[in-house]
Amino acid sequence: MDQAGLVKRQFGHRARLALSPAQEVILDGQAHTARAVWNLLHEWWQLLPREKRTLAAADTAIRRARREIDWMRDLPAQAAQAVLKTYFQAWKNCWERRASAPEFKARLRTPLALDVPQGRDLQVLRVHRRWGMVNIPKLGRVKFRWTKDLPVGKLAGKDRRITGARLVKDALGWHIAFRITTLEPVPAPHTGPQVGIDAGIAIPLALSDGTGFHHDPWLTEKEQAQLLDLERRAAHQKSCRNPGERTSRRLHRTYDRIAGLRAKAKRRHLDWQHQTTTTIARTYGTVVVENLGIANMVKSARGTVEQPGTKVAQKSGLNRVIHAEAWGRTTTMLAYKTTRHGGTLHRVPAPGTSQRCHACQTTTPGSRETQAKFVCKNAACGWSGNADTNAARNVLAAYRAGHAPAPAAGRCSRQTRKRAKPTTAR
């Protein structure tokens, strides 16, 4: 809270850049340089004694390296400092058990990215209804797709400004993600109704009031056929390659086309998630979801050689569907959108919500007849209906009964933190 009645809010906005081939080559080179700086910093950090692992020592090392190594000068100085701060923050997240330890960034498996940490360097300007201009250090003025009003010109000020940006490249090209900070009035408490949400397969999001949010396949039939053809072509081209031989340019182009179709599907999925979660946050004051352990849900059923699993192919198909729905990302969106609209988000334990009848609160074997149908086998009840709606009502009932969510476990082990933590930390 910065001022009376105002709250500080930070969010991002992503837009597509329109780069020329020459500009794309320059930006690719800067991103690869940033990745190399990360790897050199990681190696330097591991070699130093614990008592010398400090942010000041790392900053001095990077400044000296920029004076002595020619190719490091291709990276803007502020971007190099951003790499250092990101690396140090990664270790802090590990020590606080919020993430795993930083690792070496491989060239082919690491997405290209670059930071512009200071908003004043961007000089954002709107030049057309559909296009804007942004200044990128050591690259110049670049057009980007204008899809949202940004705090530039008369709209900018102390209460609303762009504080920086991050350039990211995916299969669809380079994009810029603006970091925006605003001061907004504290939202009034949302007076909407309470609702429980069940994330499922038959109905992606089923609500306790009977509402369901569906979506079509992310790719059209023509695009799905094209993706299947490209995957078969890639498999054939890969089989023709001799062991140890480098990947051909033709195979790389096939991989790029596959990645482009998958990126298009992900973009459509994100758009559906944003629209759906915004609708829920605006309509309901209290949103209750399951505290799902997705990592345990998508474990393979293959088993071991001594004890092989059963229905491995079916479980693999289910795991792919669960990954494709991205339930965790939906919950993250609901968390900040409900807060923005004055509502609240609560998590309740997930076990039993899909097997228990919400009407009589009993769990009877065989009640979940199919993925979409629930028929209570309790002779005194006999309720029947949609299985996902039944689970959503159980989720809401668990919240009203006062069940607290299970504690979240960290991903960085105690041994890793003890080995990596320098004596000067914290």
- Same structural domain for residues 313 and 387? yes
Phi, psi of 204 (to 5 degrees): -55, -45
Task: Grade residue 412 by pLDDT with cuts at 50, 70 and 90.
Answer: very low
pLDDT at 175: 94
- Catalytic, out of 121, 229, 256, 290: 290
Do 278 and 334 fall within a single domain?
yes
User: From residue 277, how far is each of 202, 266, 271, 283 by CA, in Å?
Assistant: 18, 16, 10, 10
Do 26 and 127 lie in one domain? The reply is yes
Please indicate, yes or no, whether residues 330 and 203 belong to a single structural domain of this protein: yes
**Count: domains in the chain:** 2
pLDDT of 304 reads 64
Q: Which CATH number do you get for residue 197?
A: 3.30.420
In the structure, how many helices (H) and strands (E) does the chain have?
A: 10, 14
**Which domain covers residue 115, as residue numbers?**
15-159
Instruction: Assess whether 296 and 395 both reside in one domain.
Output: yes
Strands (E), 100-171: 113-116, 125-126, 131-136, 140-145, 160-170
| Same-domain check for residues 58 and 102 | yes
Residue 414 has pLDDT above 50, yes or no: no
246 domain residue, yes or no: no
In this structure, the answer to whether residues 92 and 196 fall within a common structural domain is: no
**141 or 306, which is more confident:** 141
Examine the domain organization and report whether 328 and 398 are in the same domain.
yes
Asked whether 192 and 178 are in contact (CB, 8 A), the reply is no
Q: What pTM did the predictor assign?
A: 0.80
In the annotation, is 43 catalytic? no
**pLDDT tens track for 258-302:** 999 999 999 999 999 999 999 999 999 999 988 877 776 677 767
Give the type of residue at 147: T
In a domain, 250, yes or no: no
Check whether residue 150 and residue 213 sit in a common domain: no
Q: Please report whether residue 10 resides in a domain.
A: no
pLDDT over threshold 80, residue 380: no
Which residue is catalytic, options 103, 198, 216, 256?
A: 198
Residue 94 belongs to some domain of the structure: yes
Diameter over CA atoms, the chain: 82
Structural domain contains residue 167: no
| pLDDT, mean over the chain | 84
Active site residue 388: yes
Q: Are 231 and 258 in contact (CB under 8 A)?
A: yes
The model's pLDDT over 110-126, given as tens digits with 9 standing for 90+, comes to 899 999 998 888 999 99
Q: Is residue 285 part of a domain?
A: yes
Pair (191, 150) in one structural domain = no
Beta strands in 251-409 (DSSP E): 286-291, 344-349, 373-375, 384-386
Worst-scoring range by mean pLDDT, 87-96, 138-147, 386-395, 417-426? 417-426
Per the DSSP assignment, residues forming a β-bridge with 303 are: 308
159 assigned to active site:
no
Q: Is residue 363 part of a domain?
A: yes
Distance CA 337, CA 344 (A): 9
Would you give the end-to-end CA distance of the chain in angstroms? 25
Same domain? 414 vs 367: yes
DSSP 364-395: -TT-B-SSSEEE---TTT--EEEHHHHHHHHH
Residue 313 and residue 414 in one domain: yes
- Asked, for residue 228, whether it belongs to a domain, the answer is no
